[in-house]
Structures are given as structure tokens and as C-alpha cells.
Amino acid sequence: MPSLREAAEQLSQKEGENTDLEEKFSDMDTIEKDSVVQEEKLRHEVEPKAPGKAAGIDGGLIRKRYSYADVVAVRAVSAVFSFNSSGLEKADYLPGKSPEPEFHVFDPQDQEGLDRKAEAERLKAETEIALHSQKETDKVFMDGSVIPSYSQDEKVLENYNRLFSNAEPGSLIGVVEDSYGTSLTDILEEKTGLELGNIRDTLLMDAILSEGERSFVRKYSKGPAEHPVLKKLHSNHVNKLYTFYVRLSSKDIPLRIDYYGNPDNADQIAGELMALKSSECYTVPSPVLEADRKAKVPGKYLKRLEKRFSPSLKRRERRNL
């Protein structure tokens, strides 16, 4: 059985591999532009920018299975922070600090089917509150990408098209803190000729970027026609989706930033993110972190629901999901 000591040695070895990556890129400043890569400079310095009025969007859900039905409770919150020259001036919340969740009842189905229906309801709630927030703020920061990895729900897709139609360039931004993709690694391996292996993009950027730097801007997708969601959206929106990485503190790993707009919006977005970071150790924008806290759905709501059940249904209650 692997011991604590062996696990620590493996982690130290992984950290050493990142040091090797730093050395590989230490003297590399530029890469070749193409239809995907939009900038030649590998790294760009970030200057803090005043954020003005910014909204953070997040959604929460809780699920439970019963003998005759599956229940999903969902809510989404927008934390709207207004800043002045001294810092945070005030915080508002849409639709409120602790809104009542929506309850959705589905016929019993397999786990995958329930997961997709629950995710669709969460995305609907998030995109609807984001649409409302666009009327109130200068910038909307979504928790996660500006594009879901998968959705077949027509209302969700309609909401995303509306979000893009309403957005000024650079005003709709997705913040991804746990990125497991390797597409940027593949691009740099192809451009530089270096053997990088199957390293995650986040870890590669952790080696390349210093505090206060962002990566080059690239197209969100190399092949939108093959993406399960992009292929269903309006092409004029898809062509304005970009992504980059930014390191806001030496004590945290880089964030992946997906946004709607143009390549030259990246400096302004990165600068505002520098001003909005929650702390040196956790650099997710403070409005997004606040929205995450307010959107969580506590179990007390299901207990309230269960008080209204028929006795026979309560006795057949199944496990939590």
C-alpha cells in the first residue's frame, strides 16, 4: 500500500517537472500567429484596471431521488459589485441575497438522464440571471466558461445566443479555475517542437507565466463545427469567442479566461481581473466568489418539501444524490 512518504515524493517529483518546463520556455518570447493563435507574444504584462461595476454569476443545485420521482432544486445569484477610486462602494444581489430555489420534478430515470436535466435547469437559471445582469452592469463574469461543454436544451441555447447578442465586446467573461484541457499544450507543442507530453494547460501556464502576466489570445475552438454546443449557436457569435490564461498571483495557479469580443479586449479584461481577485491565494474574482456563496442550495429546502409529502411517499424515500 502506498505510504504518505511515497505520495510526498511523487508530488515533489511532479513539482520538479514543472521546473523543467520553466527552463524550456525561459528564453522563448514569441510564437507564430495563425487562424487560431491571435498574438505573437507568448506572455503579456497585465496592468490593473478600475473595474467600475461588475457582476459575478453562479448557480447552485441539490438533487434527491424518491421512489416515484426525482427532484432538483436550483437557484442562481448575481453579485453586483460597484467600485470607486477607494475600492468597493456597494454590493447588490439579483434577484436577492437568498432567493427561493426553483423545484423541478422529473419522472424516475437513470443517473445520466437526471444529471443532464439537473445541469440544464442550472444553466437556464444562470443564463437568465446573466441576461438580467447585462442591463445593470459594465461586465458580467460567469463562474466557468461562457460556453457549456454540453447541452441539448433549446432554452439554454437560446439564452446563450441572447447573451452574445446583448454583449458589448469584452463584457461577457467566463472564469475557469479548474481547467483539465490540453488544447493549449497541443498548440505550443506543435508551434515550438518541444515534447510536452500530456500535461494539462493550467499546469503548463503555471510554468510559463509569472505573476501579473497573461498568455497570448487564441480562438476558443479550433473546430467549432465539431463542438457539441458551438455548432448549434449562431456563427457570428462563435467567431467572437476567445480564450487566454492569466496569472494574478504567485500563490495561485493561472485562471483560464473565455470571453466574447475581440483579441484586443484581453488587456482590459486581465487588468480588471487583477483588481477583482479575491485574495493572493485565491484569485477568482470577488463577485464570482460571492455569487458562489449565495447560490448554494442548503438541504433545508428539501426538508421543507418533504414535510408536504404524502406519508406513503416519505416512507419510500431513497438516498441523496
Query: What are the phi and psi torsion angles at 7 (to 5°)?
Result: -65, -40
**What are the tens digits of pLDDT across the range 34-67?**
999 999 999 999 999 999 999 999 999 998 888 7
Whether residue 316 has pLDDT greater than 60: no
> Sorting pLDDT into bands at 50, 70 and 90, what band is 178?
confident
Which residue in 85, 125, 84 sits closest to 103, CA to CA? 125
pLDDT in tens, 15-32: 656 667 888 898 899 999
Q: Report all structural domains of the chain as residue ranges with CATH numbers, in order of start.
A: 28-315 (3.30.2170)
Q: What is the pLDDT of residue 315?
A: 44
Per-residue pLDDT at 5: 75
Contact of 104 with 76, CB cutoff 8 Å: no
pLDDT of residue 1: 67
The pLDDT of residue 306: 82
Highest average pLDDT, of 147-151, 250-254, 298-302, comes from 250-254
pTM for the model: 0.90
- Which has the higher per-residue pLDDT, 172 or 308? 172
Looking at the predicted structure, is the pLDDT value of residue 126 above 80? yes
- In whole numbers, what is the pLDDT of the chain averaged over residues? 90
What integer pLDDT is reported at residue 321 of this predicted model?
47
CA 266, CA 258: separation in Å to the nearest integer?
A: 10
pLDDT of residue 79 exceeding 90: yes
